[in-house]
Chains A and B, each alone.
Chain A
Amino acid sequence: MGLQDAEAWVSEWPGQATFLSSQIWFTMRVEAIFAGSADRERALRYAGGGAAPEKEGSDEDEDDPSGQLPVTGSGAGEGDGDASEEERAYLEEVNRQIAKDEVNAPE
């Protein structure tokens, strides 16, 4: 939880205060991440980089905007990459089978 133990935090403060502070904390954290991302983009632009922000962000560890999270929700994180890789593997398998059939086919 950071500065204070969660159990102590909940028991020492009124429920309404802990709920509100958690909401403020969440907003601040996410906006700080966005601000960090924007700062990096700006710095790169001044430095003459000028590359697309998605690519720059992917090098960073914490504020990585394109980073994939562990899947928890329904249908969350279903990447297109897996599907296309499977498709490619299937097509390769079919081509291999066709080539084998052609070789084995009677003249």
Chain B
Amino acid sequence: MEKMYQEIANTIMLFTGMVRKKLKGNVRAATVALLTGYVHFRDILNGLVRDRVYKADEFKWQMQFKFDMKNMLEVVARSATDTGSKRKLETKQVEVDCEVFGNVRSYGFEYLGNCQRLVVTPLTERCQRSLLVALQYHYGGAPEGPFGTGKTETTKDLSRLVAKLCFVLNSSANYEYAGVCRFFKGLASSGAWVCFDEFNRMGTQILSLISQVIISIQGAIKHQASHLQLDEAKIQLRGDCAIFITLNPGYAGRSELPMNLKTLFRPISMVVPDSVFITEILLYSSGFVGAQQLAKKIVSVQALANVIMNKAEIAHDFGLRSIKAIVGIAENLKLHAQNIADSDLTEVIDDYTLSEVPYKTD
């Protein structure tokens, strides 16, 4: 395992070196995603060795997301024997499973492109694990917590992990039953995932009606039905569709979920994310050398600004969203001016924050 750890550490160094060079947009995006993944592998290995895990059935390994290509030997044999134009493999021939705690979910093979990956922290990992296990028991997932904790992002990242198409809908009090029902019909027949952001923004009446639709869909999936009767229409059902909601409990203008709706979703509490760790990985994958120190500085500045601006009653989000924006600007600057020093980040913070914050001139 030590050898493997070294191999992963070397690959991380390799990717870090690649990120610092000028790369094509898609190659850079793929490298950054791989770098994020490999940093997570390194952390997993560290944990396995620290906890002296040496059996595959131990809890510390079972709790990890494991990907398995079931028919690998068959696929390799076929690709070796086929020649020329026939060599191209179809995704139907390849079967990949994602497993956590013995709950298996098929890889969706939905084309999602070269998307950015979320930095894996213990919080996001716990949430994704719970969501996947909830799906296995035919429940939906309901991450709940204050804003800026990554509820929606974590759900979206899980969909990317298992390559499923995930629609994020910003729930509104103006939603009508007919529109939502049409949406659910499409969802059930296409096998996509949906995440209703701030679900409790909808009114209690429509929530009650929606709960009936969700009960029908989840019941049909549970009984492995091939068709489903929804709103006087018989539609084809794909069992891999899933419904998630995110909630901001206790906020103004939010309604309480009906009890029959609450029981359909597995609640997951989200707390304040580890901003320093996330910023460090973001900076690291943007090619900054002293990422650890810089991350601490950025997070401290943002936290201080948050306190000061709150006192001055200026509304601005100094959370991870603004940190991500700052790192994005810094990355662009670094790409276009290769000799930029790490200390120049202070200018980026100034430029971004001052342009965002409204101030009085009197």
Residues of A near any B CB (own CB < 8 A): 1, 6-7, 10-11, 14-16, 18-20, 22-24, 26-31, 33-35, 37-38, 53-54, 57, 61-70, 72-73, 76-77
- Which residues 99-115 of B sit at the A interface, judged by CB distance below 8 A? 107, 111-115
Complexed CA–CA distance, A10 and B11 (Å):
12
User: Which of A6, A31, A68 is within 8 Å of B49, CB to CB?
Assistant: A68
In the complex, the answer to whether A65 meets B54 with C-beta atoms within 8 Å is yes
Q: A73 near B43 (CB under 8 angstroms)?
A: yes
Complex-state Cα separation, A57 to B54, whole angstroms: 9
- Residues of B30-77 at the interface with A, using a CB-CB cut-off of 8 Å, are 30-31, 33-34, 37-38, 41-46, 48-50, 52-56, 61, 65-69
B180, CB-defined interface residue at 8 Å = no
Q: How far is the CA of A72 from the CA of B29 in the complex (A)?
A: 25
A24 near B54 with CB under 8 A, answer no
A-B contact pairs, 24 of them (CB 8 A): A6-B18, A10-B31, A19-B37, A23-B37, A27-B67, A30-B48, A30-B61, A34-B54, A34-B56, A34-B61, A37-B54, A38-B56, A54-B54, A63-B1, A64-B1, A65-B1, A65-B54, A66-B54, A68-B49, A70-B5, A70-B9, A72-B9, A73-B43, A77-B49
Given contacts A24-B69, A33-B1, A65-B54, contact A16 B113 (CB under 8 A): yes
Indicate whether A7 sits within 8 Å of B45 (C-beta atoms), given known contacts A33-B1, A33-B4, A34-B55. no
Mostly, the A contact residues are helix
Q: How far is the CA of A15 from the CA of B112 in the complex (A)?
A: 9
Q: How far is the CA of A16 from the CA of B94 in the complex (A)?
A: 15
Q: How many angstroms between the C-alpha atoms of A12 and B59 in the bound complex?
A: 37
Residues of B within 8 A of A19 (CB): 30, 33-34, 37, 117
Is there contact, CB below 8 Å, between A15 and B114?
Answer: yes
> In the complex, what residues of A have CB within 8 A of residue B29's CB?
15
Q: A15 touching B33 by the CB < 8 A rule? A: yes
Interface contacts beyond A10-B18, A77-B46: sample of 19 additional A-B pairs, CB < 8 Å, sorted by A: A6-B11, A6-B18, A10-B27, A11-B24, A11-B27, A15-B30, A15-B33, A16-B112, A23-B67, A27-B66, A30-B45, A30-B48, A33-B1, A34-B55, A65-B49, A69-B1, A69-B5, A73-B43, A76-B50
